[in-house]
């Protein structure tokens, strides 16, 4: 066939080719920004994505001419998703899964301002390119695309070429895994490597995207999202026995004097879950002034327990996971938020049940709508549950965290003692700029620190603000005459790597903090421990437990035996094979408990 036979197809089909190249470049850009590119050369990297892009564009090229413009639907969706994924990665160190669509209730001011702080100018290159592509289609390509009629032979040729490039991309992706397995002496055939790649569960979305092409990752991620609809399941006899055996084999807590335990049982407990508190920031200084002098003094005082090397174990549920870990001693689920999916329905072995105080109150610095907080904390056993909607007049005077702590102070005289109060802060949420804080309550130090990124400076400012308000809160507790009889537990909801505008980072390397005052014990725990170990540590101080001897799936750090923690990237710290097996099993047991609503039985 000579060129004249091809010329009627060139102009119309060039639109679909350019659209395919646009999607290829878009996914390459995502891989570059999220460090999930794989392959030794730019060509190999692009071939991974070209077949997927062609497979998405192909059906629209073969549609009836008047419907071909619908190709813009997946192109626009892909662009929005990729840019959002890049922003998500800069904050959480991972790209989102499809199950993120179930978190629409979390869309609010905090999310909006967080996203605004995460964008780079270069992110909008593909928005501009897509606008140009759309404009070019409207002005130049629309007529030729509508007039494009492929003979049957050409249609089959296009289909064959598309399938070839898609299969080529899959083969390249498997080949990269195959070469890795052989390099580390794991003898697997090419077909075994491919089967493993396709069936491997998603632990971290960025890694799965690295090990698969976008379409395969989307299919696997969609399966995880569909699992939400079938999350709840009946508890089998074997599963019940497995859970009971695990609980029965929980390592014993540290043995504490009866007099200490009795004194603690008579104390009030106030747990403050601090948004994004990094342990290593507590000793930071700005212009020679300490950022968190109150926290530092609490660590150093008699009767305080501190652990500043806690591995963050939140997953897709973010801060909701942090609240779950500290309050119930259960690991979260990997693919979606337990509070969102199950918080309104499940029964939880939470601290209000285990500690048995006279009254259990929760107060949020936000509206208690994110992560389904209001319903979830009611399920945890808190009554009442307050949010910033209950004290709007205080926010303008003190800022979010200051208002929270002032409101909590006003509640204390009305509570039956001993009480348990859990407070959730918000001012240190990215982008670390609580706009409600009056100027006179902000840190009075120079804003310009050329040696520090803007996010580090603003983070330090919010940490100092929280620290100052914490000091004022403690003074109010003393004036109310309850401080000496109150155990104050300060724990991060998760740590937060301080992202910059010049590079993407992951939060996984930054430890979070736990400080317990008026505990009757003075101890500084330097070992590597997990976030899930906070719950059993608190119970240890009261010699308390929940139903069926529940003390959480972790272990009290007071025992001195904890020196490792589960992480999606692998076990962190020092653990023998038996310890590592239990750390991994704790995640599986947590999933069983969540999905079967074990503690409701």
- The residue with greater pLDDT, 124 or 101, is 124
pLDDT tens, residue by residue, 287-314: 888 999 999 999 999 999 999 999 999 9
b/e for 267-290, b at 16 or more Cβ within 10 A?
bbbbbbbbbbbbbebbebebeeeb
Q: Where are the beta strands (DSSP E) in 81-172?
A: none
How far is CA 540 from each of CA 253, 282, 293, 344, rounded to the nearest angstrom? Answer: 6, 26, 28, 28
Residue 15 pLDDT exceeds 60: yes
How far is CA 337 from each of CA 167, 275, 334, 380, 469, rounded to the nearest angstrom? Answer: 35, 17, 8, 15, 30
pLDDT of amino acid 323: 97
pLDDT of amino acid 499: 57
Contact status, residue 385 vs residue 374, Cβ threshold 8 Å: yes
pLDDT of amino acid 504: 44
Q: Is the dihedral of CA 306, 496, 423, 563 positive or negative?
A: negative
pTM, whole model, 2 decimals?
0.81
pLDDT tens, residue by residue, 565-581: 999 888 999 999 999 99
Residue 587: band (very low, low, confident or very high) from pLDDT cuts 50, 70, 90 = very high
pLDDT of amino acid 93: 73
User: If DSSP codes are grouped into helix, strand and coil, which group holds residue 133?
Assistant: helix
Q: What is the mean pLDDT of the chain?
A: 88
pLDDT tens, residue by residue, 459-472: 999 999 999 999 99
Q: Return the residue matching tokens 């971290």.
A: 204
Average pLDDT over residues 131-150: 88
For the chain, the straight-line distance linking the first and the last C-alpha, in angstroms and rounded, comes to 74
Residue 351: phi, psi to the nearest 5?
Answer: -55, -40
Cα 505 from Cα 89, distance rounded (Å): 8
pLDDT of amino acid 230: 83
Lowest model confidence (mean pLDDT) among 62-76, 170-184, 326-340: 170-184
pLDDT of amino acid 446: 66
State how beta strands 523-525 and 305-311 pair. Answer: parallel
State how beta strands 305-311 and 529-530 pair. Answer: parallel
- Among 518, 538, 495, smallest CA distance to 349 is for 538
pLDDT of amino acid 154: 83
| Residue 274 half-sphere exposure toward CB, CA atoms < 13 A | 29
Residue 150: band (very low, low, confident or very high) from pLDDT cuts 50, 70, 90 = confident
pLDDT tens, residue by residue, 457-504: 889 999 999 999 999 999 999 999 999 999 999 999 999 887 554 444
Q: Helices (DSSP H) in 286-389: which residue ranges?
A: 293-300, 318-328, 338-342, 351-355, 373-380
Q: What is the number of other CB atoms lying within 10 angstroms of the CB of residue 452?
A: 16
Lowest model confidence (mean pLDDT) among 54-68, 134-148, 194-208, 379-393: 194-208
Residue 187: phi, psi to the nearest 5?
Answer: -75, 105
pLDDT of amino acid 505: 45
pLDDT of amino acid 109: 67
Residue-level length of the chain = 601
Average pLDDT over residues 263-290: 94
Cα 382 from Cα 568, distance rounded (Å): 31
- The residue with greater pLDDT, 145 or 131, is 131
| Residue 242 CB partners (closer than 8 Å, separation 6+) | 589, 592
Q: Is the dihedral of CA 210, 214, 220, 221 positive or negative?
A: positive
pLDDT of amino acid 434: 86
- The residue with greater pLDDT, 569 or 259, is 259
How far is CA 227 from each of CA 276, 334, 513, 583, 586, rounded to the nearest angstrom? Answer: 29, 12, 33, 24, 20
Nearest 5°: the CA angle 275, 307, 111 is 15
Both structure tokens of 109: 């001011």
Question: Taking phi first (over 0 means left), then psi (-120 to 50 degrees means alpha), and beta for anything else, what does residue 287 get?
Answer: left
Residue 563: band (very low, low, confident or very high) from pLDDT cuts 50, 70, 90 = very high
Contact status, residue 332 vs residue 317, Cβ threshold 8 Å: yes
CATH 3.40.720.10 range(s) for the chain read 237-600
State how beta strands 289-290 and 285-286 pair. Answer: antiparallel
Average pLDDT over residues 124-143: 92
**CATH class of the domain comprising 237-600:** alpha beta
pLDDT of amino acid 66: 85
Q: Determine what percent of the chain is predicted with pLDDT higher than 70.
A: 91
State how beta strands 419-424 and 268-274 pair. Answer: parallel
């Amino acid at each position: 066939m000579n060129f004249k036979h091809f010329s009627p197809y060139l102009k119309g089909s060039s639109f679909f080719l350019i659209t395919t190249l646009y999607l290829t470049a878009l996914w390459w850009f995502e891989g570059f920004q999220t460090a999930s590119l794989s392959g030794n050369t730019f060509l190999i990297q692009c071939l991974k994505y070209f077949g997927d892009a062609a497979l998405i564009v192909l059906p629209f090229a073969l549609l009836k001419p008047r419907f071909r413009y619908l190709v813009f639907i997946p192109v626009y969706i892909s662009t929005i998703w990729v840019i959002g994924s890049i922003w998500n990665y800069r904050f959480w160190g991972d790209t989102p899964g499809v199950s993120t669509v179930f978190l629409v209730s979390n869309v609010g001011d905090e999310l909006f301002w967080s996203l605004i702080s995460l964008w780079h100018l270069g992110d909008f290159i593909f928005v501009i390119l897509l606008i140009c592509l759309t404009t070019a289609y409207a002005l130049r390509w629309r007529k030729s695309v509508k007039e494009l009629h492929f003979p049957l032979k050409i249609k089959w040729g296009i289909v064959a070429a598309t399938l070839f490039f898609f299969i080529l991309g899959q083969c390249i992706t498997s080949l990269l895994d195959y070469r890795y397995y052989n390099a580390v002496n794991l003898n697997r055939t090419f077909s075994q490597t491919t089967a493993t790649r396709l069936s491997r569960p998603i632990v971290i979305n960025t890694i799965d995207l690295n090990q698969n092409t976008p379409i395969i990752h989307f299919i696997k991620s969609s399966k995880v999202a569909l699992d939400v609809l079938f999350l709840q399941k009946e508890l089998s006899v074997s599963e019940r026995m497995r859970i009971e055996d695990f609980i029965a084999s929980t390592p014993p807590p540290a043995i504490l004097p009866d007099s200490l335990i009795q004194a603690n049982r008579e104390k009030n407990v106030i747990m403050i879950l601090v948004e994004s508190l990094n342990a290593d920031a507590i000793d930071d200084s700005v212009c020679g002034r300490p950022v968190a002098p109150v926290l530092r003094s609490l660590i150093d005082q008699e009767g305080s327990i501190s652990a500043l090397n806690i591995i963050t174990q939140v997953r897709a549920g973010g801060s909701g996971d942090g609240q779950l870990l500290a309050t119930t001693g259960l690991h979260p689920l990997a693919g979606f938020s337990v509070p969102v999916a199950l918080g309104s329905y499940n029964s939880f072995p939470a601290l209000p049940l285990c500690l048995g105080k006279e009254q259990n109150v929760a107060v949020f610095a936000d509206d208690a709508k994110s992560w389904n907080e209001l319903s979830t904390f009611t399920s945890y056993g808190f009554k009442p549950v307050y949010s910033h909607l209950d004290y709007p007049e205080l926010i303008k005077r003190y800022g979010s965290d200051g208002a929270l702590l002032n409101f909590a102070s006003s509640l204390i005289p009305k509570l039956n003692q001993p009480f348990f109060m859990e407070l959730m802060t918000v001012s240190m949420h990215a982008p670390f700029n609580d706009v409600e804080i009056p100027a006179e309550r902000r840190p009075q130090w120079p804003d310009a620190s050329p040696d520090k990124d803007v996010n580090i400076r603003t983070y330090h400012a919010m940490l100092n603000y929280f620290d100052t308000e914490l000091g004022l809160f403690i003074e109010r507790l003393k004036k109310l005459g309850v401080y000496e009889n109150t155990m104050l537990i300060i724990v991060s909801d998760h740590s937060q790597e301080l992202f910059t505008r010049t590079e993407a980072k992951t939060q996984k390397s930054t430890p979070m903090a736990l400080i317990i005052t008026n505990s009757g014990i003075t101890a500084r725990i330097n070992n590597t421990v997990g976030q899930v170990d906070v719950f059993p540590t608190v119970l240890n101080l009261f010699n308390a437990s929940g139903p069926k001897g529940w003390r959480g799936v972790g272990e009290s750090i007071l025992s001195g035996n904890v020196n490792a923690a589960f992480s999606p990237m692998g076990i962190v710290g020092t653990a023998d094979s038996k310890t590592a097996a239990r750390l991994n099993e704790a995640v599986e047991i947590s999933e069983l408990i969540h999905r079967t609503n074990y503690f409701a039985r």
